Amino acid sequence: MATLRLFAILHLCLMPVAISAVEYVTVDTEEGTLRGQMSETLTGNPMFMFQGIPFAEAPVDDLRFQPPVKRASWTGVRDALTTQRTCVQLHSSGKSTGGENCLYLDLYGPGTPSRNGTLKSVMVFIHGGCFTSGTGSSAKPYYYVDQDVILVNINYRLGILGFLSTGDDLVPGNMGLKDQTEALRWVQRNIEAFGGDPQKVTIFGQSAGGASVHYHVLSPLSKGLFKNAIAMSGAASNTWAFKKSAPDRAVRFAKYLGYTGENSTDLLNFLKTAKASALVTNITAALSEEESLSLFECIWTPTAEPENDGAFLTEEPWTLVAEGRYNLVPFMTGDTNMERLKQTQSGGALYTEEQVSNFNENFDEIVGIDIRLPTREEQLKAAASIKEFYYNGSDITVQDNYTTCLLETHRHFVEGVDAAVRSMARYSSNPVYYYQFSFVGSRSTFPRGPGAAHNDDVKYMHATDLDPDSDEGVIQAQMTTMWTNFAKYDNPTPEQTSILTETWKEYDESSPYYLEINGPLSLKTNLYEPYMTFWHKLLP
């Protein structure tokens, strides 16, 4: 019996075992050698992955609240095998997550990395999250790599750690945007070693990531670091994406944490010693009573800096947009057709009769706080004209929720995006493409709703389990193909195909084309009229 057992054991040990060995690949960057690994896309195409690449020094200790510092070189081979760590933020559980040492990027590309042969177009994704949450790894690489494009996902400091401003040279602000710029500098230095073309870099992002993309279009600090820009559901001139009151908010929040100092130096010293977890908790304490009226508020945002060496932005974004003083590049942008749909559905701030009654009775104060006019008097007057335009002066009821959703979508998103489109078309000789995403399917926030809500577009773009023959799978294929075509050819539809069934024409002032992304694709004109004419007459 013992002999039989021994024979069985030997037989098992000698049987061939299928072991999937990891295939590693190395690349020499300016900072040092990186070791990544080979993988494949969902369709089986070979794909290389380098994850967790540091593009700046850890912004901790004396570097907290300071501009990013280029990562020092290392010796030997550094593993780039694990995806980036998220930056400090508040988790849905109510506890902080992530860490301050978070300035990393992930990089994915087709085949094996090589600087020999034709260099590939590069797309750099900037994640959204109201400048307080999110991570670069939310963008999935498979469909971009299938289209022969290199995808780079980046992190940047969030919340007060990324967007503190003392209103002076001590901490002028916009550190999170400067992190993004530092990542783009890394791409310029190193992407050719991975087979990417530094002259064909497209930046793209959604929500706060879309606003960030637009900020790079506006910033002299980012000039020359990218060729094309795609801003999805976000513009720098959206009220939620820019604040003049950043220094006041910093002081107010610090006092909530126990601060008793008197000047910027005291404030900085206090915040530098605070636990990172405390800096992302209960951040609504930074708001004034008046600011708390807003129905959509990103508390820590970009701001205009005092003039300083290395400033990212020193003027209000709408001034630059109105005057055409920015980086004139091929530009694509758009919105979902009902960005604020969640607000008027169950659980939203404008769903119950009580909520809508309060909105009606205090409309001028609630709406006025988010209107970018210089005085409170002008804001209240503008709010009254908005109510007259959208509701014909009538009282607002729950039955008006479709109109209310349109109003909230237009004032929080579309007006700023539309202004960017019109300005770029007016001042730039480069192509401008405008879209509206209105597809509603099984992955939509409201699958049986009246339109596409905020984030619905990226849900389809970055899903990994859609049936390619389903309506949802076709929308995904159309969007990822058009986005990568724009990166490669400056044109999202260089030719019609079985997937791209409509030619997306450029927007210009005489022919204001836009593409409605739905089933099927449809080319139309005069998006959101007559609403946008009203808004552009109302606001600077």
- Residues with catalytic roles: 207
Which residues lie below 8 Å from residue 399, measured CB to CB, with a gap of 6+? none
Q: At what angle do helices 415-427 and 531-538 cross, to 10 degrees?
A: 80
Q: Are 209 and 127 in contact (CB under 8 A)?
A: yes
* Cβ neighbours of 207 (radius 10 Å): 27
Which residues lie below 8 Å from residue 176, measured CB to CB, with a gap of 6+? 131, 156, 157, 158, 162, 163, 302
Please tell me the distance from the alpha carbon of residue 163 to that of residue 156, in angstroms, as a whole number.
Answer: 10
Q: For 73, which DSSP code?
A: P
Q: For 261, which DSSP code?
A: -
Token pair recorded at residue 513: 């084309």
β-pair type (46-54, 96-97): unpaired
Q: For 158, which DSSP code?
A: -
Q: CA nearest 157: which of 92, 89, 226, 250? A: 89
Where does residue 526 fall: left (phi above 0), alpha (psi -120 to 50 degrees), or beta otherwise?
left
Whether omega before 302 lies within 30 degrees of 0, making that bond cis, reads no
